[in-house]
Amino acid sequence: MIPIKKYSQEIVHRSTITNCMSSNKPIYSPNYYKEPGPKLDKESPFESMMERFRFAAEILKLDEGMFEYLANPVKQVIVSIPVVMDNGSIKVFEGYRVIHDNVLGPSKGGIRYSPDVNIDEVKALASWMTWKCAVVNVPFGGAKGGVRCNPKELSIGELERLTRRYTANLLEIFGPDRDIPAPDMNTNEQVMAWIMDTYSMRSQKTETAVVTGKPIILGGSQGRKEATGRGVVTCTLAGLNKIGLMPNKSTVVVQGFGNVGSVSAELMYEQGAKVIAVSDISGGYLNKEGLNIPEMIQYSKENNNSLEGYPDAEKISNDDLLELECDVLIPAAKEDQIGKHNAHKIKAKIISEGANGPVTANADSILDQKGIMVIPDILANAGGVTVSYFEWVQDRQGYFWTEERVNRRLNRMMRSAFDNLYNVSEEYNITLRQAAYVYAINKVATTLKMRGIYA
Ligand code: GLU
């Protein structure tokens, strides 16, 4: 086994983010790492990404120039978004769009609305999108966007004005052949409809392919909503097969009961797995005899998207949920859930990352030493962007597929991505996560070499 190298967290930032479009500012270079040093338990998502990137870069023997090129985003944009609130006052929000890379094609990635989203997080998520698209072989680069706001405190009208002004500020960035947003945390198909409409109004024609994750009636794809959870389950089933466990003999724990978590739980339940615990913002719910997932989904729907008060389960804490004895753990809530503080307490045989970045880089080697198979986010949750790709293809053709066709193709692409990475991991004797980075970085670097550097 190639050991996971330890690097210190001392990374020198030399980027200055400006309030206008900035591009090609080098931020990371191999020279900026000093080793060895004490590791912090709390990592920023970007540091977690860089730790893994650096490991793969060493295996691939990336030269310094290529390293710098691939570590740094192509473009980072910060915009001010003034919104007239319902009471007539003006409130200014901050919005971001980071294009990490567009070597493989137009950049692709979601937009999240959250009170604590920041440029560091968006940068990490944009790079993950690059590697994610490469892993599942869709012809896109990576991007991510965000607006620092609390959508729960905004009225529907305020949310619409915020979305339209954010889009208006980024008209030169977005485009069906340039950069294609999608939903992410706290954004949904309605938000995508507003982006599509704003962009279309400004270009004087309907441009459905400028966003994915739209309502089906506006050119969205069948199966897009369930795609991420469906992809998680395809990978989980492939993982169970590798360790010789039948789905209907396995126990499953799911953290998060939003779109990804609830679909993953439901599909594992349909496979005959015993889903013993799930959680949402109100806490964890355990029933060792197995939860009735369809009933819980219905309960949550009727209870303002909350499982609070669900009767047929014991209430447990989120921390306890992660540490339960089970075969499969699906963290499908948010970043940084499994770190150095709790990785040694995890008892699952497989961790299938429904969320982006639920395991910190610090936890990787601990989980590996425990023999846990981690199906990394850039593979496990790539079903969403895979069906986004199908949606973009359908929009451009003006020809729409049945749900059955979407699911069949999704399953095929996810399964072949899993098998491919499994082979890479065997070939190099590395983990699936390391294999994913090695494969993705190699693909983007090879493409870049062939394209050459424009001067
Ligand atoms: N936000 C999703 C992700 O993190 C989907 C991105 C997309 O479909 O472009 O993968």
Q: What is the pLDDT of residues 172-224, one digit of tens each?
A: 999 999 999 999 999 999 999 999 999 999 999 999 999 999 999 999 999 99
pLDDT at residue 26 tops 50: no
Instruction: Give 436: exposed, middle or buried? Use CB within 10 Å, 0-12, 13-18, 19+.
Output: buried
pLDDT 10s digits, 288-319: 999 999 999 999 999 999 999 999 999 999 99
Residue to probe by mutation, ligand 1, list 186, 228, 394, most atoms within 8 Å of CB: 228
Which CATH homologous superfamily contains domain 227-375?
Answer: NAD(P)-binding Rossmann-like Domain (3.40.50.720)
Short-list 203, 181, 204, 200, CA closest to 192: 181
What pLDDT shows up at residue 20? 27
d(CA 356, CA 439): 18
Pair of tokens at residue 70: 């691939």
What pLDDT shows up at residue 24? 33
Which protein residue has the closest C-alpha to ligand 1 atom 9?
Answer: 109
DSSP β-ladder status, 22-23 and 75-84: antiparallel
What pLDDT shows up at residue 48? 84
Residue to probe by mutation, ligand 1, list 100, 129, 226, most atoms within 8 Å of CB: 129
pLDDT at residue 25 tops 70: no
Confidence category of residue 334, pLDDT binned at 50, 70, 90: confident
- Tell me which of 22-31, 40-49, 185-194 is least confident: 22-31
Q: Residue 244 C-alpha to ligand 1 middle, in angstroms?
A: 31
Q: Which atom of ligand 1 lies at the shortest distance from residue 388's CA?
A: 8
What pLDDT shows up at residue 42? 55
- Residue 368: partners with Cβ closer than 8 Å, 6 or more residues away: 1, 4, 374, 431
Q: Residue 357 C-alpha to ligand 1 middle, in angstroms?
A: 13
With a pLDDT cut of 70, the percent of the chain lying above it is 91
Mean pLDDT on 353-364: 95
What pLDDT shows up at residue 29? 44
- Residue 392: partners with Cβ closer than 8 Å, 6 or more residues away: 176, 180, 209, 212
Confidence category of residue 376, pLDDT binned at 50, 70, 90: very high
CB of 109 sitting under 6 A from ligand 1 = yes
From 108, 123, 132, 144, active-site residue? 144
Q: Which atom of ligand 1 lies at the shortest distance from residue 356's CA?
A: 4
Q: Residue 359 C-alpha to ligand 1 middle, in angstroms?
A: 18
**Could you tell me the pTM of the whole model?**
0.90
CB of 97 sitting under 6 A from ligand 1 = no
What pLDDT shows up at residue 41? 47
Confidence category of residue 355, pLDDT binned at 50, 70, 90: very high
Report the top-level CATH class of 75-216.
Answer: alpha beta
Spell out the domain ranges in the chain: 9-71+435-451, 75-216, 227-375
pLDDT 10s digits, 390-416: 999 999 999 999 999 999 999 999 999
d(CA 33, CA 31): 5
**Measured distance between the N- and C-terminal CA atoms of the chain, rounded to whole angstroms:** 41
Sheet containing 328-331, strands listed edge to edge, beginning at the edge strand earlier in sequence: 314-316, 283-286, 274-280, 251-255, 328-331, 350-352, 373-375
pLDDT 10s digits, 257-281: 999 999 999 999 999 999 999 999 9
DSSP assignment of 310-335: -SSSEEE-HHHHHTS--SEEEE-S-S
Q: Which residues of 137-162 are buried (b: 16+ CB within 10 A; e: fewer)?
A: bbebbbbbbbbbbebeebeeebbbbb
- Tell me which of 28-37, 238-247, 349-358, 410-419 is least confident: 28-37
Query: Quick check: 49 and 28 in contact, CB under 8 A?
Result: no
Q: Residue 110 C-alpha to ligand 1 middle, in angstroms?
A: 5
CB of 108 sitting under 6 A from ligand 1 = yes
- The answer to whether 75-216 and 227-375 have equal CATH topology is yes
Mean pLDDT on 160-175: 98
pLDDT at residue 30 tops 50: no
Query: Quick check: 442 and 257 in contact, CB under 8 A?
Result: no
- Tell me which of 29-38, 43-52, 316-325, 419-428 is least confident: 29-38
Catalytic residue list contains 349? no
